[in-house]
Structure 1
């Protein structure tokens, strides 16, 4: 969010404000309504059979959002859960995710402007239809909207039933999909759904009271599970269109790579091969099946010219270290005054590093496109559909309205589908061949062209006072900002190497978001030293919290050892002002049988808070031969009053496994602009046998539900590293813990 944009939104320039105000401010739902369906608002349709159709604007990536949001609506409506269905939302300003936009686009200007800055970002998000999925914002952003939709529909349906019965509508209610007047009269929702549209809502919308028959708080079955079990669930690679062909692609090494040449004639040897499609930066083969297309690419062996310095792990580390002595560093968070605390004092200092973490989603990048004279259609999973549609339209030279994007569920994106390049490529190939095309990246291509989480180096320093209290704390973090790069690519169309270079000298809070200590330390500061490591980076589960929690919680354990205080008590004594996190720590320790982190116990503990959620994890780990072994993980989480506790536990558990993968592998070395390995079996990823018992306890809370998708991932690695110290006596200060060589 630039200063100029803020001035437009905040009202500092009258002429610009007039232009801004002239934009439409009132938006109507743009949903298609089928025969027998009645539209209630942008989030709800009900048909004559009584089926409740919840409209979900967020991308389902396995996190359960396509169940949680409908559950909020169904609870307030009084629906029968067995009649609830889900439909993906079209692109509309009504579904903009202002919460993630505020987090992502906040700047010094918007923070200085206060409420005006927040308003400007919200307006920009709405008017740009920024439908974003990520960072656990889905429930916090849309919880109230789904409650309102359910409550409004309940009132209208009750009014329609009351008019038939000649009774006050306030005496009517809906339970399990049946409207009653408190006596013996009953109607199904579908019986009055058409009449309900003719009534108006009261000035104050009444919400459901009491706990009887409520769906919120119940472990209801996920709506997407049956179709995923029987195989009828459509992911991008499942789309089939008449006359469709298949494509595979090669995009060259990482960086500013342009296509040089290829042995075109070799492709003709492959049965089923149809055509080669070239652009400046990639070449695709089209065939009657994907295997033919991919085999043709293998045979033509395309070569690329790489301009600039190739990506190399050694150069990445050198760039991060050099950043500490550069002039782009900034102090972004500060409390108290560190200088008199550190002056002439004995301090503990440690250095840490985190390698770039890959996404490695089960589903490689994929999109299906059909380009005709009537318009363009694209089927793809995307966490930013409006930005994806705009990019496709721009690539084809069309208006946004000429492109129809069908948003699909993603097979475990964990942030990778913020980028839209597969959709653009599929559309360009489809236009070239004149037939519908399904483009599927190979696993090799998916790894080479991944946009990993940010690598980071940290220099931590602290001074201990009497009783083991931390009197001063300084964190210096050298890392690129993956979030800044991602926005530059998806919103401004920058090429990956261009976005990486532009962000190389920009210090930002997004890069050190997980570094603010949750403990009562009187004097502390966090400095960010930006760096251009040459590796394009992307949105990741946990984002900067992945390295932030690792640096903070590992260093805190070192301080506890120096102070001679067991690790949990050391943390608890500094959490007087943070009782929710203290409760999580004590609960995890009690559940796990915490032994105080004594030598040989193999137990480690870590705590973290993010986005209004609090969690602590205790692990039991060791080293068997040369391999990391994690026997047990116990998590205690305070994430507010969760809509579906079982899905919340699933999210925490999957986050812990994601964090375990980062500790064991999920990263690769780079040399000459390429990853040195790309097969999943060679990345030391955890297998089922490597994952021991996992227990997740949700602490009861009346606070608003917080997003928990990202919460577990940052905690696993520091807890494991702390556990290994009790076994080996050695501090593990790098991720992956066992190295990625």
Structure 2
């Protein structure tokens, strides 16, 4: 992509050992390069004439409206309800008075939890707590705001509880001062401050005075369960506006004098724009201009349809450097990776060599195709660029990095770019990339007027950054009692997470990021491969590869293929041991009672028949990021069509704030997993997907989704994220079910060929 000369580089460079360690290494002490930076940050919120900023997460209006500031991107997962619910519960607010506002870019909203998961490396693990601290400092001081991986609630739960407690204490102090009583005798319920007797006061009446009081050394939390909002199935705050159409997504933004753009970026890989038919494009009514860069061309018109038609007639030609991506090439690269010297053993327990030596082992091979995101809303952004700076409206899961990329492309300082984060019409990780925002800003600068850039569905599919394709070679040794004595997993796959970070934080082009990660073995690529079961001797090896297909952040990430490999192979081992699949798993889950409870519950609710031939029932279990889940499915083949008549899921994700939203997310994950099993993948040839029409991808329709039952296990554990945990389970459960129906073991995803 061509860029203007830089005035100032704003890119957040990737964290490295040299970035954080200065001097004689860990033994000489951990020295932070930014040690002189300020360690306290103030909220950078704007307040209206009647609003009072209480803290970084809360404003209160004089009328009593509670305005909760949320830094996480709402993508349908309900985060703009759950986080406010935590705060409102601790504050004692009336739920009807709660509103939500998106947060500006600030270190106060850094997602250090996802940063630690994403950026952990061998050297940070060696440093232990110091390494975690260093990554946290990097994320905070870089204002690394991230949404993904089910981390929103685990990351911000305590912050919102504290924010609510702070507001409650301050408001009680202000009310108590006016009543001349001890503040400890006051409380707030349903938005009213009371003294425990007859006196009442509205929150808005004293909020301006409340922020002048000091907090006690120990912050008290609400006690008891009366009138608590946490744990209730409260209505979502975003539902009314989505029903009446007033909710603004990226494509709904309208600005004075705005024009519309469509874009074409060529085949997958290192593609450069070679030429266009400008005269043909000029014949479209409403067409204004072709905006060209090294790697893309956009047509601008008075409406999007005219822009897209002009782009079709312009018939852009691209020159592709390097070998074009193809499905055959992807498979070949993955198989060749097993003989590469870049492979590394990343997880190990016990000693496999004496267990496998001279023994009879079961070995199986599996493969998974890349899975497309296919969100309801293709990428879209609106931009206005003036002499004073730039404004961009877009949905993004990494607003700080997106703002830095836009500023860098325009040659501006980050402070000169205002990013308005919008809710996303689905994402599944796709909006972690910021391409559309940068492109819209460059087109707007070229046009000298506001521009709304909307990718077509074709462009969305061609330029998608799908989940990683993977091949696995699994081997195991069974003991006489049917227990697994040894387990070895060799996985050839690129690391989508490494590629994503290189693009969004270091500004690398997609093909550059893929090539740079081609020889880097990482735990991110095989997350979820470590067995959840009590196996005395096991190991997981990763063999990195460059498949020529840029990959991206997805729902479940590597767990999508990891669960398929492990749970399918476990089913094979159960049949080899002549044991029914649930008992085979249960015998190895003595040290994992939460997962065992989920498995037994799903089996009981689903009427598990023991996996007998013809039952069409299959099981799978998985755990990730503090959440535990088991799924039972009933499936059959009708000709070449897969029918899944029933899905039962039992999930232990701790004490959920809003159980109904948790169930929604689990159900959503189950359907996402069903799509991953049935379709959501396309063959590639000559650098392009062979199919790009949703109707030809064998995606599940409403009629394909049978009865879905979700059981949330009662738990007093801290709440875990639930958006990802169910998605990886569906494909292996269906594959195991189809084995009982057909007698054939399906070891490839998708399980059935697309039309």
Give yes or no for TM over 0.5.
yes
Which of residues 179, 202, 211 is equivalent to 1:188?
A: 202
Please state how far the C-alpha of 1:2 moved relative to its aligned partner.
Answer: 2.1
Per the alignment, residue 253 of structure 1 pairs with 267
Q: Specify the SS of the correspondent of 2:481.
A: helix
Q: Are residues 72 and 18 of structure 1, via their aligned partners in 2, closer, same or farther at CA, if it must alter by over 3 Å? A: closer
Asked if 1:236 corresponds to 2:250, the answer is yes
Which of residues 668, 671, 683 is equivalent to 1:654?
A: 668
List 4+ stretches of structure 1 deviating above 2 A.
Answer: 8-19
Please state how far the C-alpha of 1:339 moved relative to its aligned partner.
Answer: 0.3
Which of residues 321, 331, 337 is equivalent to 2:335?
A: 321
Query: Any residues of structure 2 matched to 1:78-117 within 5 Å, and which?
Result: 78-117=92-131
Please state how far the C-alpha of 1:579 moved relative to its aligned partner.
Answer: 0.2
Which of residues 297, 302, 305 is equivalent to 1:283?
A: 297
Per the alignment, residue 308 of structure 1 pairs with 322
Please state how far the C-alpha of 1:30 moved relative to its aligned partner.
Answer: 0.2
Asked if structure 2 preserves the Cα contact closer than 8 Å seen for 1:252 and 1:281, the reply is yes
Please state how far the C-alpha of 1:12 moved relative to its aligned partner.
Answer: 5.1
Which of residues 471, 490, 501 is equivalent to 1:457?
A: 471
Asked if structure 2 preserves the Cα contact closer than 8 Å seen for 1:359 and 1:666, the reply is yes
Asked if 1:76 corresponds to 2:127, the answer is no
Could you state the TM-score of these two structures normalised by the residue count of structure 2? 0.97
Asked if structure 1 preserves the Cα contact closer than 8 Å seen for 2:30 and 2:130, the reply is no
| 1:620-667 deviation digits (Å, cap 9, x = unpaired) | 000111111000000000000000000000000000000000111000
Asked if 1:370 corresponds to 2:384, the answer is yes
Asked if structure 1 preserves the Cα contact closer than 8 Å seen for 2:582 and 2:619, the reply is yes
Which of residues 395, 403, 423 is equivalent to 2:417?
A: 403
Query: Any residues of structure 2 matched to 1:473-512 within 5 Å, and which?
Result: 473-512=487-526
Asked if 1:663 corresponds to 2:677, the answer is yes
Could you state the TM-score of these two structures normalised by the residue count of structure 1? 0.99
Query: Any residues of structure 2 matched to 1:197-216 within 5 Å, and which?
Result: 197-216=211-230
Which of residues 560, 577, 582 is equivalent to 1:546?
A: 560
Q: Specify the SS of the correspondent of 2:505.
A: helix
Per the alignment, residue 348 of structure 1 pairs with 362
Asked if structure 1 preserves the Cα contact closer than 8 Å seen for 2:274 and 2:319, the reply is yes
Please state how far the C-alpha of 1:3 moved relative to its aligned partner.
Answer: 2.1
Per the alignment, residue 606 of structure 1 pairs with 620
Please state how far the C-alpha of 1:193 moved relative to its aligned partner.
Answer: 1.0
In 2, Cα distance between equivalents of 1:643 and 1:514: 26
In 2, Cα distance between equivalents of 1:331 and 1:660: 31
Q: Are residues 18 and 668 of structure 1, via their aligned partners in 2, closer, same or farther at CA, if it must alter by over 3 Å? A: closer
In 1, Cα distance between equivalents of 2:726 and 2:220: 36
Please state how far the C-alpha of 1:15 moved relative to its aligned partner.
Answer: 12
Asked if 1:126 corresponds to 2:140, the answer is yes
Please state how far the C-alpha of 1:268 moved relative to its aligned partner.
Answer: 1.4
How many matched pairs? 741
Asked if 1:521 corresponds to 2:526, the answer is no
Q: Are residues 295 and 656 of structure 1, via their aligned partners in 2, closer, same or farther at CA, if it must alter by over 3 Å? A: same
C-alpha RMSD of matched pairs (Å): 1.2
In 2, Cα distance between equivalents of 1:180 and 1:356: 58
Which of residues 545, 569, 585 is equivalent to 1:531?
A: 545
Query: Any residues of structure 2 matched to 1:372-451 within 5 Å, and which?
Result: 372-451=386-465
Asked if structure 1 preserves the Cα contact closer than 8 Å seen for 2:484 and 2:535, the reply is yes
In 2, Cα distance between equivalents of 1:36 and 1:654: 40
Please state how far the C-alpha of 1:18 moved relative to its aligned partner.
Answer: 7.0
| 1:467-493 deviation digits (Å, cap 9, x = unpaired) | 110000000000000000000000000
Q: Specify the SS of the correspondent of 1:46.
A: strand
Q: Are residues 27 and 630 of structure 1, via their aligned partners in 2, closer, same or farther at CA, if it must alter by over 3 Å? A: same
In 2, Cα distance between equivalents of 1:546 and 1:740: 19
Per the alignment, residue 595 of structure 1 pairs with 609
In 1, Cα distance between equivalents of 2:470 and 2:236: 37
Structure 1 stretches of 5 or more lacking a match?
A: none
Please state how far the C-alpha of 1:466 moved relative to its aligned partner.
Answer: 2.0
Asked if structure 1 preserves the Cα contact closer than 8 Å seen for 2:616 and 2:635, the reply is yes
Please state how far the C-alpha of 1:514 moved relative to its aligned partner.
Answer: 1.2
In 2, Cα distance between equivalents of 1:94 and 1:18: 19
| 1:553-603 deviation digits (Å, cap 9, x = unpaired) | 000000000001100010000000000000000000010000011100000
| 1:658-695 deviation digits (Å, cap 9, x = unpaired) | 00001110000000000001000000000000000000
In 1, Cα distance between equivalents of 2:341 and 2:88: 55
Please state how far the C-alpha of 1:9 moved relative to its aligned partner.
Answer: 11
Q: Specify the SS of the correspondent of 2:474.
A: strand
Which of residues 96, 119, 140 is equivalent to 2:154?
A: 140
Please state how far the C-alpha of 1:740 moved relative to its aligned partner.
Answer: 4.2
Q: Are residues 18 and 622 of structure 1, via their aligned partners in 2, closer, same or farther at CA, if it must alter by over 3 Å? A: closer
| 1:195-242 deviation digits (Å, cap 9, x = unpaired) | 111111100000001100000000000000000111100000000000
Asked if structure 1 preserves the Cα contact closer than 8 Å seen for 2:621 and 2:629, the reply is yes
Q: Specify the SS of the correspondent of 2:367.
A: strand
Please state how far the C-alpha of 1:14 moved relative to its aligned partner.
Answer: 8.8
Asked if structure 1 preserves the Cα contact closer than 8 Å seen for 2:21 and 2:32, the reply is no
Structure 2 stretches of 5 or more lacking a match?
A: 1-14
Q: Specify the SS of the correspondent of 1:4.
A: helix
Q: Are residues 188 and 433 of structure 1, via their aligned partners in 2, closer, same or farther at CA, if it must alter by over 3 Å? A: same
Asked if structure 2 preserves the Cα contact closer than 8 Å seen for 1:389 and 1:404, the reply is yes
